[in-house]
Homo-oligomer: A and B are copies of this chain.
Amino acid sequence: MGSRLFLPQGFFINGINSGIADRKKRDIALIHSEVPCVAAGLFTKNRVKAAPVIISKRHLRNGRAQAILVNSGCANACTGNRGMEDVEMMAYDLACQLGIKKEDVLLASTGVIGRFLPMSRVKQGIRKIAETVGNPSKPEFFAEAIMTTDTIPKIISRQFLTQNRKRVAICGLAKGAGMIHPDLATLLCFIITDINIHKSLLQRSLMTAAERSFNSLTIDGDTSTNDSVLILANGRAGNRPINGANQDFLRFQNNLNGVMLGLAELIARDGEGATKLVRIVVKNAESGISAKKMARHIASSSLVKTALYGSDPNWGRLMAAIGSSGVRIDPQRIDIYFGKLQVTRNGEPASYSEREANRILKKKEIEIVIDLKQGRGGAKVYTCDLTPDYVNINSCYSRRPCILIQGGGGSF
């Protein structure tokens, strides 16, 4: 959670229970801004898109929004026309309660695919949470309400001063224990900031930050029907409007990167059943694109991830993953390091202590460096190990009507 929480001005955040999935767990979450915001979003590339994804993309066309409504416990994906009507209804209900435009409501859902929302409970929940607007914000309730198999809520915030000495705050809240969980839900991230910025720059900065964070994260190599990253900027910081890539914009970008990278790391650490945070670094590739392609491929390999679980200094699996990544390489140039320990030199065994390698791999944070010695492209990707708990979490889900969360534990 980081240390101090910096909340941007003019926003209200909360999360409550409405009984969608569970009688106790919070499952409806709201962000509301006093004034309309500049807004941007990134959505799943999965060709099967959940109803809230379709509607949010539509509502974002004008680059404007004033509220975000999220539910957990049901992904509202593969639900056809009825699913679409349910989302429209949610937006309409909330807009009426808050006295804003329906089109200014963005929506996201997370939970089981192929089930319909229990709309009477959802409607009651919307009324209930709308009535809390004006109370002090409860970001921790929001973060809890969007969790599914996550074991910890995920909030990261930062603040900085603009050139005219205005304080800007950025607060990000995310969920995602595996990326992805088509039925236990998926990656959701919501960012609020009080900066005054043009909508095209907001979209650009969101894409830049996502490239280094969520797009550099792979838990199990899948992408979901519901992945959404949304940002609202309400301008209440009072900084000079940002219309170009000036000093203030660079500071904003830098801090947004930090918030989103921090969230991505929290998600990797909290991967289902994960015991280790793993950074795969590819250096000196022909290009940044090929470096990232290789790093993602390695980070998705079940064989690499099981070896990391067992702290096995088994660089042969890395070589095999490197060779099957689809990137052009010269196998006889490849150096591999576990942390700072070189285990492979020019594609052959380096002389190293297996005990030392094993010691490094037993840590909770592992960095693996692949030096291709071909060019100047580099990339860093975050992942976690693959454990028996991952299998258990994802297999014993049968015939449960909805998702049950147990605090603290990684499995249920």
Contact = CB atoms under 8 A, between A and B. Distances in A.
A388 B397 contact: no
A142 to B, nearest CB: 25
A300 to B, nearest CB: 8
Contacts of A314: 183, 397-398
A378 to B, nearest CB: 19
* From A49, A80, A317, A397, residue with most partner B Cβ within 10 Å: A317
Interface in A322-361: 322-324, 328-329, 331-332, 344, 346-349, 354-355, 358
B223 A317 contact: no
B78 A349 contact: yes
A319 B391 contact: no
A221 interface: yes
Given A78-B344, A225-B323, A311 B391 contact: no
Given A78-B347, A78-B348, A222-B321, A316 B399 contact: no
B398 A320 contact: no
Interface stretch (A30-38, A40-48, A192-200, A256-264): A40-48
A164 interface: no
A362 to B, nearest CB: 10
B390 A114 contact: no
A28 B142 CA distance: 62
Interface in A63-88: 75, 77-80
B225 A320 contact: yes
Interface stretch (A17-25, A97-105, A302-310): A302-310
Interface residues of A, number: 69
Contact of A307 (B309, B312, B329, B395): B395
A302 to B, nearest CB: 5
A113 B48 contact: no
Most buried by B among A114, A358, A399: A114
Contact of A331 (B48, B221, B354, B355): B48
Contacts of A49: 323, 331
A115 interface: yes
Contact of A391 (B46, B113, B220, B390): B390
A182 interface: yes
Given A113-B319, A316-B78, A399-B354, A307 B394 contact: yes
Contacts of A113: 315-317, 319-320
A111 to B, nearest CB: 10
A281 interface: no
Nearest to A346: B80
B303 A302 contact: no
A312 B397 contact: yes
Interface in A278-310: 301-303, 306-307, 309-310
A374 to B, nearest CB: 12
A46 B326 CA distance: 8
A5 B307 CA distance: 38
A6 B96 CA distance: 78
Given A48-B331, A78-B347, A113-B317, 11 more contacts: A46-B323, A47-B324, A77-B320, A80-B346, A114-B319, A183-B303, A224-B320, A307-B397, A312-B398, A358-B398, A387-B391
Report, nearest first, the 9 A-B pairs whose CB atoms are least far apart.
Answer: A113-B316, A310-B395, A182-B320, A48-B323, A388-B388, A306-B394, A46-B323, A312-B398, A47-B323
